[in-house]
Structure 1
Amino acid sequence: MNEHHRRFFDPRSLSRQQQARIPIVAQIVGGLLTALLIAVILLAITSAAWAILYLIHTAP
């Protein structure tokens, strides 16, 4: 190692990056919330489309 690398390299930064990992429970909860959000958005789009079709069908 040259002097520049030795002066600016912090070996503690590796352990800090390892501690910043998201736990598996948080990943599962995040995935479930994401799936729920996608399902709600799809239901909203579907209900809006059905409402528009209903209004077109029942228009005088």
Structure 2
Amino acid sequence: MDKFLTYLGGVLGGYALIETPVADTILSSLDPVLDLLGVLSMIVFSGAFVVHGVRTMWMNK
């Protein structure tokens, strides 16, 4: 259960990075970087989520 919450937090954190409104702030120049980090975070943690789920299914048989 501990890894489940870690991976879920990583996916939600990536989504938050993508959806962060930075227009009209000092961070507006970082918008493409935040989007890239968010997408990469979601891909990595979603992949780990799937791998962990498949490994759990195989170990419980």
The two structures have a TM-score, normalised by structure 2, of 0.50
In the comparison of the two structures, how many residue pairs are matched? 36
Query: Which 5+ residue runs of structure 1 have no aligned equivalent?
Result: 1-21
**Which has the higher Rg, Structure 1 or Structure 2?**
1
- Runs (4+) of structure 1 exceeding 2 A deviation are none
The alignment-based identity, stated in percent, is 6
Unaligned regions of 5+ residues in structure 2, if any? Answer: 1-23
Partner Cα separation in structure 1 for residue 46 and residue 34 of structure 2? 18
Identify which of structures 1 and 2 has the higher relative contact order when contacts are C-alpha pairs closer than 8 Å and 6+ apart.
2
Aligned-residue CA RMSD in angstroms?
1.9
- Letter of the structure 2 residue corresponding to residue 31 of structure 1: P
TM-score by length of 1: 0.51
